[in-house]
Chain A
Amino acid sequence: MTTITVGVLALQGAFVEHIQLLRRAAESIVQNGPRKALHEPPHFTFLEVRNTDELQACDALILPGGESTSISLIAERTALLDPLRDFVKVQRKPVWGTCAGLILLAESANKSKQSGQELIGGLDVRVQRNYFGRQVESFEADLELPFLESPFHSVFIRAPVVEKVLPPSNAVPAENSPDQVLAPPRQSTNAPVEILGRLPGRARAIRDKTTTAEDLGEDGDIVAVKQGNVFGTAFHPELTGDERIHAWWLTEVVRLKSERIG
């Protein structure tokens, strides 16, 4: 039986919630029997990651929700930013970011904090922080996701959205404008950015206070994306008690790991 170690970055935010739901997802994988991707369910161990040694022990990593500025500042002072960039963009291990984690995994984000913020990168997208507004604009909504059979009830807390899919980071040097921050480049990937989830009818449901929805048309805001080894969601599956996305992602982790070995 193979052992897979999944870490959750535990610098700040809702990391305990992810570990609890990962445990339940692992149980559900065992109980539901082998899926197509999993002939033999592996043994999972889950780990809170606060330093480089702990990161190095991981086959896959979740970047939890929290405050993205806090997480990136603490990562910088803990000398974790470059090891994280290597993990995501050079070693190309499976990584999933939720909310603040999605912001950190974006190659570009709007510069809302005055002195900007450090990004890890890995997803060729631009995100808009606090897109829906302040806390009173936070909400719950049902989402259709292609890898789940029924809608997923999700919680958006001061959430970002993916504003734009960017050309691959190796294609053209990114134009840097004063109102955005960029992640430093590493090895680029040929994997395309897949849009896995959109929030329908947001404009009707919530008063739009920003002006960034122009190129989204009527399709709805992008709230879940995947590019190769990197998965990002603008919402918080860890706040719902529904472990289906975690279970799906764990099977992806197993698949990606067996592909790397194979």
Chain B
Amino acid sequence: MASNGTTDHTPSAFRYNNNNTAVKMDTTTTTNGHASTPGPDPSTVKKTTAAAANPAQSTFAVKAGLAQMLKGGVIMDVVNAEQARIAEEAGACAVMALERVPADIRVEGGVARMSDPAMIQEIMRTVTIPVMAKARIGHFVECQILQAIGVDYIDESEVLTPADPTHHVDKSGFSTPFVCGCRNLGEALRRISEGAAMIRTKGEAGTGDVVEAVRHMQTVNAEIARASSASENELRQMARELECDFALLKETARQKRLPVVNFAAGGIATPADAALMMQMGCDGVFVGSGIFKSGDAAKRAKAIVQATTHYNDPKVLAEVSIGLGEAMVGINVEKMPETNKLAKRGW
């Protein structure tokens, strides 16, 4: 099973050179990393599905590009086609198709796995916005299945039960882009060096308590601020400390932000929560249990979409916060036993 273990392989620079925010590019350069199509690492070839015939497909720029199109938007968890339609009508920029929302996974327990492909495909047929789906951490075959049915993004998610005790999936060999969770900068950069084209803070899914999302965003922001003011030597030290790739850390320091799109997730339940995360500097929000576990899902979904766009306009935020009915009941994370925290999954 060595082929799965790629978390420690040498990360290569292409993964962020293609990003739009790499602004060093000469104006006369018309190729945008065309030549740097990620070829699968020879040691990982076995487990990746056949690469696209066209070398300009599935490049990192194309993968990260879709995430850039999602910015300023809300991605909603949906468990069936009817909910997916409500989400699309509310203005969601994408949906996450899964069988049980995190709040139910908590209550019901057991092993949480990839959803039935038929249910994901029905949602893909129902809506025109991108459809994401979750695979278990390290479960590269679930990822192969999700890629085969054509989902637009794969979430290697701590909300499902991890399938590999030591490794995350090597994401660079897939043509479908990946989003992964993080609690801090080191975790984010490790996922990016494995090929993730989008990051989300983990928060604490299924709680309706935004405190962990805030904590993780603050941690990432503080570490980026520290990296941005660090000398070259300090950055090397910091890369060792955070256990991340030095080149990626340096690029993060230069851009003063993560080199890929970063959404907030895990505990967002109200328009104010969404705007809070946006004001803290995330690029958009995931709302999981918060919408369809509330009293009036359609109204709340619309309100969270409006709040994510107008996050800096308290008057709009007040308007959309009025009369939303019951919010999801929620679980106070502080009173939760450490072993129940999903964010602890992944490394």
Contacts and interface: CB of A to CB of B under 8 A. Distances in A.
Interface of A: 10-17, 20, 24, 28, 50-51, 65-67, 69-70, 73-74, 77-78, 99-100, 112-115, 129-130, 134-142, 150-153, 155, 157-158, 205-206, 236, 238-244
Interface residues of B, number: 57
Contacts of A67: 69-70, 73, 93-94, 129-130
Given A70-B93, A129-B128, A134-B151, 14 more contacts: A17-B21, A20-B21, A50-B309, A51-B313, A67-B93, A135-B66, A139-B56, A142-B31, A153-B30, A157-B69, A205-B54, A206-B57, A241-B23, A243-B27
A150 B29 CA distance: 10
A136 B52 contact: yes
A11 B72 contact: yes
B90 interface: yes
Contacts of A16: 71
A139 B310 contact: no
A51 B151 CA distance: 34
Interface string B214-248: 00000000000000000000000000000000000
Given A100-B69, A205-B54, A139 B128 contact: no
Nearest to A115: B89
A242 B29 contact: yes
B23 A24 contact: yes
B20 A69 contact: no
A241 B22 contact: yes
5 contacts: A65-B68, A69-B91, A134-B151, A136-B58, A240-B20
Contacts of B150: 134, 136
A153 B128 CA distance: 27
Given A12-B309, A67-B129, A241-B32, A138 B65 contact: yes
B63 to A, nearest CB: 8
B160 to A, nearest CB: 21
B147 A113 contact: no
Contacts of A236: 65, 69
Contacts of B71: 12-16, 66
A155 B94 CA distance: 20
Given A66-B69, A73-B91, A113-B127, A157 B30 contact: no
B88 interface: yes
Contact of B27 (A28, A114, A136): A28
A241 B93 contact: no
List of 8 A-B pairs having minimum Cβ-Cβ separation, nearest first: A135-B152, A73-B91, A241-B25, A140-B56, A67-B93, A12-B72, A14-B68, A139-B57
B113 interface: no
Nearest to A157: B65
Interface centre among B25, B62, B93 (most CB of A within 10 A): B62
Interface in B28-69: 28-32, 34, 52, 54, 56-59, 61-62, 65-66, 68-69
A158 B130 contact: yes
A12 B177 contact: no
B234 to A, nearest CB: 27
Contacts of A244: 27
A205 B150 CA distance: 19
Nearest to B174: A136
Contact of B305 (A74, A139, A238, A240): A74
A114 B254 CA distance: 44
B87 to A, nearest CB: 10
A224 to B, nearest CB: 15
B54 A139 contact: yes
A181 to B, nearest CB: 12
Contacts of B93: 12-13, 66-67, 70
B100 interface: no
Contact of A50 (B31, B54, B176, B313): B313
A66 B177 CA distance: 17
B300 interface: no
Interface string B77-92: 0000000010011111
Contacts of A239: 20, 32, 61, 65, 68
A113 B128 contact: yes
B252 interface: no
A145 B22 CA distance: 24
B305 A70 contact: yes
A139 B59 CA distance: 8
A69 B309 contact: no
A137 B57 contact: yes
Contacts of B62: 138-140, 155, 157
B184 interface: no
Contact of A69 (B128, B147, B176): B128
B140 interface: no
Contacts of B130: 67, 134-135, 158
Interface string B81-111: 0000100111111100000000000000000
A78 B309 contact: yes
B27 A17 contact: no
A242 B32 contact: yes
Contacts of A10: 72, 309
Contacts of B30: 142, 150-153, 242
A155 B65 contact: yes
A14 to B, nearest CB: 5
Nearest to A66: B69
A242 B27 contact: yes
Nearest to B130: A135
